[in-house]
Amino acid sequence: MNDANGNLRDSSGAVVRPPIAWALASIAGLTLDRLHPLPFLPAAIPAGVFGGIVFLAGLALLIWAATTFRRAGTQIMTTRPTATIVNEGPYRFTRNPIYIGMFLGLIGLAIAFDSLWLIVLLVPFYFVIRYGVVAREEAYLERKFGDVYLAYKARVGRWL
């Protein structure tokens, strides 16, 4: 990716900042739910408690991943240069624990609010993250780190 001056940009060039995409999906889902509720869970399920647990699991994974990035001295923001390939903490199991945390957070909200709208919006959110963010990050990391990233990519799956 080149900047306005034709120089190679040292960032992934993601189409959107992931927290913004997550917030938009959450707000849209909750707004649609308020306008036209679409519950999907049996009334006997303690949705608030179960959804809260799933949401907190996603948040915990996201925090663990972000803390691991910070300890490694690299950037979390997709608009900033990546300093190193991180393969510790949750990055031993998945190349994208922050995004998995976001998916779990959205699922947790869907359960807690018993909103099928949030589940429906998980689909476009996934495609934006997968193709507008992750695909660009992978291409950027491959350009920047070459064989080091390719070896990591061969060892650790994109999602799990």
Tell me the pLDDT tens digit for each residue of 104-115: 999 999 999 999
The CATH code of the domain that includes 140 is 1.20.120.1630
Residue 76 resides in a domain: yes
Q: Establish if 1 belongs to a structural domain.
A: no
For the chain, which residues score pLDDT lower than 50? 1-7
Number of domains within the chain = 1
For position 8, what pLDDT does the model report?
A: 56
Quick one: pLDDT at residue 147? 97
Where in the sequence is the domain holding 128, given as residue range(s)? Answer: 18-155
Residue 63 falls inside a structural domain: yes
Does residue 8 form part of some domain?
no
**Residue count (the chain):** 160
Distance separating alpha carbons of residues 142 and 147, to the nearest angstrom: 8
Task: Take residue 21 and report the two structure tokens written for it.
Answer: 């995409």
Q: Is 92 among the domain residues? A: yes
Query: Structure pTM?
Result: 0.91
Place of tokens 């707004």: 31
Give the HSE-up count for residue 59: Cα atoms under 13 Å, Cβ half-sphere. 8
Kindly provide the b/e burial profile for residues 100-137, where b requires at least 16 CB atoms within 10 angstroms of the residue's own CB. bbbbbbbbbbbbbbbbbbbbbbbeebbebbeeebbebb
Domain membership flag for residue 4: no
Q: What is the pLDDT of residues 88-127, one digit of tens each?
A: 999 999 999 999 999 999 999 999 999 999 999 999 999 9
How much is the pLDDT for 2?
Answer: 45
Q: Which of 24, 2, 20 is nearest to 11 (CA)?
A: 2
Radius of gyration for the alpha carbons in the chain, expressed in angstroms and rounded:
17
In a domain, 10, yes or no: no
Residue 102 lies in a domain: yes
